[in-house]
Amino acid sequence: MADLKVQSREADEKQASILDRQLNGVSGTGQLKQTSLLAYATTVDLIFIGLSCLSAIIAGALNPLLTVIYGQFAGTFDDFANGSVTSKEATSKTAEFTLFFVYLAIGQFVFTYLTTIGFYYTGEHITRRLRKAYFESIIRQNIAFFDTTGAGSITSRLTTDMNMIQEGLTGKLSLCLSSAATFGSAFVIAFVVYWKLGLILSSTIVAMTISSTIGGAYAVKYTKLSLSSSTKGATIAEEAISSIRHVTASGIQKQLSDRYVPSILSARKEGMKARSSVAVVVAVLNSVPYLSYALSFWMGSRFLVNGSMNVSEIVTMTLAIVIGAWSVGRVAPNAQAFISCIASASGILKAISRTSPLDPFGVGGVDVDTINGDVTFANVGLVYPSRPDATVLKDLSFTIPLHQTTAVVGASGSGKSSIVELLMRFYEPTRGQILFAGHDIQSINLRSLRRQISLVGQEPMLFNTSIFENIRYGLESTADDLSPEETESRVIQAAKSANAHGFISGLPLGYKTPVGEKGLQLSGGQRQRIAIARGLIKNPKLLLLDEATSALDVHSERAVQSALEKAAQGRTTVIIAHRLSTIRHADNIIVLASGNIAEQGSHEELMSKKAYYFRLVEDQRLLNTNEEEKYVGARSHEDDLVEDTNDTLEVSGVVEVKSENTVTPDVTLRAASPAPGALSFLATQKFLATINSPSLALLAFGLVLSVISGLGTPGQSIIFAKLIDVLSLPASAYSTLRHRVDFWALMYLVLGVVILVIWICQGVVLAYCEESAIFRAKRHTFRSILRQEVLFFDQRNHSTGQLMSFLSSSTTDLGGVGGLVLGTILSFCGTIGGGLILSLIIGWKLALVCTSTIPLVAGCGYLRLMMLSLFDQKVKESHNVSINYASEATTAIRTVASLCLEDQILVNYNRMLSEQAAKSLISILQTSALYAASQSITFLCAGLAFWYGGTLVIDHQYSIFQFFVCFASLISGSQTAGIIFSHAPGFSKAMTAAGELKALFDIKPKIDTWEASGHPVPRGKSESRIKFENVTFRYPERPDRVVLKNFNLSIRAGQYVALVGPSGCGKTTIVGLLERFFDPTEGQITLDGQDITQLNVNDYRRMLSLVGQETTLYSGTIKENLVLGAPEDISEDTIISACKKANIYNFIVSLPDGFSTEVGARGTMLSGGQRQRIAIARALLRNTNILLLDEATSSLDSESEKLVQEALDVAVQRRTTIAVAHRLSTIRNADLICVLDHGVLVESGTHSQLIAKRGVYFQMVQTQNLEKTKTR
């Protein structure tokens, strides 16, 4: 007994270890872990970074040299006032010192230009390499990683986080370095001039360092939390946008929007804390200079009195220390971006460092060119990492013989698809082993294994490219030596084998036809056939078919099934099937029940046992014995008719292929014209005010504080000029000098405290307003996206990835002109306005000259802003392409892995990034020149002011006091203008984002869920009579392609109507028309005699329940998914009753967490059949008058289908039902069966009536009959 306990404990520990490494990755092995952003810099990048850093340091160090010139000017003025120098000597020195400004301006331009170019180039290059590394790390992760990490969070990382990193590396890092250099240079000058005073003033460093360190630490902490919350919200949004048809049909836009809000609300809360932390740091850094002025002049006056210093040295030291302090303050506005850069980088670097336990790029393991041997499952157990409490497979043992076909059948959730996932090594078995020709599967190189296998799943995933490329992808791992002609030949042959060549050839663009996002431009059956062709073209040694024909009509299924049976010859084949007609010729059939083998054998052997399999077959038998006997004599004729019908219907299947762009031009987010591009700055502010209207009062208060804070500079200029004037007093008046210096130094201290309080209040208020604006923008953007009609999402540039990029980045980019930046602008306005008024009052001549320099600085900044705006628009469009591609690849990660497409995906992604980088170089060179000009012009402006002001002083037109008031207030304001336009990249992004958001918000869909107009439809009072009157439908951008043609159909209240026909004949289009995904091109559809386009769309859709072919579940619990779209007052008993009717209740209560069980992203933690039954239960909970079933039982096994069908048969008795079906057993009890062909109703009647006609329906029935009469 003790040994058994030890063994059990060891087994549990081993299982826990296997699950842990699948969830959290492998530590200590695998790819090299890069823990620094510099690790993604090449040698050339590092050289550029080094040179850029040196240039930034030199450029920054040049600024304090101005103080030496200022000091010399002040000394010259003092000497001139005291009569020590003549006016001629003073004029000569003034001209000489003015030249120094020109030299400094040239140096500033050159080094700033080199700095900007270097950092922009390397920042963009490093970020590009980081994007590549991150995406490569993602694409090589095991499937368990994606079970817990949604595509939305990955998209958020590639957009918001990467943009923050690039912004931090390009503009913000250079500013930090140059400011640090300015700070260091200033203190060097101070110590050289007089070390004692320099040492005293060094106390300001301590205050700045402490505040910056503490505030920065809190900012990093809260920024990480904010990004984490945003990522969770992105996952919710991505699931909603990618399933927009279900969202629209269910009317759950508000519920999903409400589910999205808590995540972005949490992000706002944490972002507010981060920005407030920065605001406190900014306040300290902006107030310290005033305290430095006070301390410097106060102590300097003491040293002046005792003869240790002169006026020139005091002015030089004071200005040097203040410039140093201001330089640190200049870092503060950029601190948020750089802190966000660090926080974003840490999350991305952590993701990159995760080593996948199932790495497709791994070089270890045995290479198997061919699988020559049986596949053996030996006591295999499986527990999914995301559901550790549920055992899926239990000690499963069986053999898949070489070159034979093995079928696996059983109830939904019995473990059938899990066998396929283990064979593909999507997951690791938690016990036992799987042997390929005697090799343990875990010892075989992963890519080598997958190259020998083709998988065709029940939910085909196509990529947003042409039909040809989608089929060719099956050759990706084996087609290295094929010529283009050979590749084309194999693609066409595979399409023919999959019965797809006919409909493809009938398309205007043939094999070059784009399939749209997820292949949604094609019907379900067409997608399935392309997926089958992709699987066959590989000529695999092991063929895995997981419900491969589930979406095909009976004719296509017959032809494809024949092709699959031929393809299975000579290769090992595993078929997972619910439709038992597809596996009757299998060499061995394994029947699973609850993760164990119930029985196995050939079809004949299992039928003779009359046990589990026999019951499944009996449940699926379509025709009763009496009906079968009627058809014996007509068998020969029927076979010929079926072949003829196949050809006819296949050609007609072309018509439901959807347009590549099915959105009218007025429903576009980005048009070719520049109209929906960047808004002007004022228009952007107006747009932001509209979004942030609830916070306008608070915003106004914050902006008033900003203006007041800007008045600090003109205020201090008076104190500064007074102190210079006081220090010029003769030695005989030193007593008066010290008294006056004490007073004005106290004024500086008071001003510093006032500025500290104002900046803290302003920063916190504006931080709240900015975060609130971003929050409201995200919320309104998400709601606006969900508001759009279905055709909007079919447009190429409105794919899920692009809309997610738009939602994540554009809303965040609005912060570029948000409260904090706007506060900085108004602070500048306060500085300039106050300084101009003060200077005009005190010395209008010099004031006008100084003011004239400001437009020069502003003009350079404005030109740079405009160029950056155009540049950012182009970059954004380029990035959207790559982001959409990455989103598509991660969404289809199982398909990518099974086809070994990782290399091709990365090559394409990297090419997209490189193309974008090539376009950006010229723009970087141009905008860098303008930025360098805006920074260097301030030196020329200062030189002009000193030259002209000095002339006025020497000519006795101005006093020293007048000169320094004008100079300190206006030239400082001119320098502030340069600082403002350092925000130009943020301005341009925000203006572009505002234009795009406004374009989206202004769209008013034709079918508008926000519109309250239309006739109300009282719930429960409708008779639910439906009538199609001469309905013709064409997609807007393919007016020549008729999907439905003069379609007429009357459906009585409570009638059960079935729609059947080949793939692409218009069945699903009818459902789309009923759901008002789009409206008829001609004719009308009426409900109880009223045109449905005249009814309130929300009321009308509440009358309908839709269960689609592709089941949609959302991250969250089973219960949360069940009640989505249901009435708010739904009771627990009603939920349980619906689950029982859908045959899902027993499964739910068997789970450890019951109804609280998490279903994972898109419900991936459940099997296809389990997801489908939950969807059916959800539809029943809506308790609507009209029920729409589009292949509602396609993912169910025979047993579940029988039970669910019985429940549906009961449900349809009380409501009008329209069912689309390929599996004819599900609709034999329909009151009316309509057979469509080429968008036209070719025959209709009950099952018995249509059988008697021996027409198209009769042939479909014959094809699907499992037990042919001749075999009985």
Q: Tell the burial category of 877 from Cβ atoms under 10 Å away from its Cβ (0-12, 13-18, 19+).
A: middle
Rounded Cα distance, 395 and 380, in Å: 5
Host H or E run for residue 52: helix 43-81
Strand ordering across the sheet containing 542-546 = 453-456, 542-546, 572-576, 405-410, 588-593, 596-601
Residue 551 · residue 1194 · CB < 8 Å: yes
Q: Which residue has the tokens 């490093």?
A: 126
Domain ranges in the chain are: 1-30, 31-357+671-725+734-1002
Q: Tell the burial category of 1090 from Cβ atoms under 10 Å away from its Cβ (0-12, 13-18, 19+).
A: middle
Host H or E run for residue 1027: strand 1026-1034
Residue 474 · residue 535 · CB < 8 Å: yes
Radius of gyration of the chain (CA): 37
The CA-atom distances, in angstroms, between 893 and each of 31, 138, 143, 887, 896 are 20, 10, 8, 10, 5
Q: β-strand 431-436 against 375-383: which pairing, if any?
A: antiparallel
Rounded Cα distance, 705 and 715, in Å: 15
Give, in degrees to the nearest 5, the angle at Cα 308 between 307 and 313.
110
* Distant-in-sequence, close-in-space partners of 489: CB < 8 Å, separation ≥ 6: none
Strand pairing partners for 755? none
* Distant-in-sequence, close-in-space partners of 739: CB < 8 Å, separation ≥ 6: none
- Chunked into runs of 10 residues, the chain (1272 residues) has average pLDDT values of 54 80 72 65 88 90 84 79 79 87 90 88 86 90 84 77 77 77 85 86 77 80 85 86 88 90 91 87 83 87 86 83 69 60 76 87 79 86 84 90 90 83 91 89 89 83 89 75 84 88 86 82 80 86 82 66 74 84 86 88 89 79 42 38 38 38 36 51 82 86 89 86 82 82 91 92 89 90 91 79 81 75 80 84 84 74 65 66 84 88 89 75 75 80 84 85 79 61 68 85 87 79 85 79 88 90 83 90 91 90 84 87 86 90 86 86 77 85 87 67 68 81 80 90 91 87 55 37
Residue 913, Ramachandran bin (φ over 0: left; ψ between -120 and 50: alpha; else beta): alpha
Residue 576 · residue 549 · CB < 8 Å: no
Residue 960 · residue 77 · CB < 8 Å: yes
Q: Supply the pLDDT for residue 995.
A: 85
Q: β-strand 439-440 against 431-436: which pairing, if any?
A: antiparallel
Residue 471 · residue 494 · CB < 8 Å: yes
Residue 931 · residue 59 · CB < 8 Å: no
Q: Which tokens go with 368?
A: 């198997």
Q: Which tokens go with 150?
A: 């949604």
Rounded Cα distance, 126 and 135, in Å: 14
Q: Which residues of 959-992 are buried (b: 16+ CB within 10 A; e: fewer)?
A: bbbbbbbbbbbbbbbbbbbbbbbbbbbbbbbbbb
Q: What is the DSSP string of 710-772?
A: HTHHHHHHHHHHHHHHHHTS-GGGHHHHHHHHHHHHHHHHHHHHHHHHHHHHHHHHHHHHHHH
CB neighbourhood size of 584 (10 A) = 18
Rounded Cα distance, 905 and 915, in Å: 16
State residue 366 phi and psi, 5-degree precision. Answer: -80, 135
Q: Which residue has the tokens 């046992």?
A: 609
Residue count of the chain: 1272
Q: Supply the pLDDT for residue 4.
A: 47
Q: Which residues of 455-485 are buried (b: 16+ CB within 10 A; e: fewer)?
A: bbbbbbbbbbbbbbbbbbbbbbbebeeeeee
* Distant-in-sequence, close-in-space partners of 743: CB < 8 Å, separation ≥ 6: none
Residue 311 · residue 73 · CB < 8 Å: no
Collapsing DSSP to helix, strand or coil, 679 comes out as: coil
Amino acid occupying residue 170:
T
Residue 781 · residue 811 · CB < 8 Å: yes
The CA-atom distances, in angstroms, between 97 and each of 65, 68, 311, 845 are 12, 10, 17, 21
Q: Supply the pLDDT for residue 547.
A: 79
CB neighbourhood size of 951 (10 A) = 16
Strand ordering across the sheet containing 1090-1091 = 1042-1051, 1026-1034, 1082-1087, 1090-1091
Collapsing DSSP to helix, strand or coil, 965 comes out as: helix
* Distant-in-sequence, close-in-space partners of 498: CB < 8 Å, separation ≥ 6: 529, 530, 532, 533, 536, 560, 563
Rounded Cα distance, 504 and 510, in Å: 5
Nearest alpha-carbon partner for 931 in 115, 113, 124, 51? 113
Which CATH number applies to 31-357+671-725+734-1002?
1.20.1560.10
Q: Which tokens go with 1268?
A: 């042919």
Rounded Cα distance, 838 and 836, in Å: 5
Rounded Cα distance, 1125 and 1105, in Å: 9
Q: Supply the pLDDT for residue 625.
A: 36
Residue 407 · residue 1158 · CB < 8 Å: no
State residue 44 phi and psi, 5-degree precision. Answer: -65, -40
Alpha carbon dihedral 794, 797, 801, 803, in 10-degree steps, equals -90
Q: Supply the pLDDT for residue 876.
A: 64
State residue 958 phi and psi, 5-degree precision. Answer: -130, 150
Q: Tell the burial category of 370 from Cβ atoms under 10 Å away from its Cβ (0-12, 13-18, 19+).
A: exposed
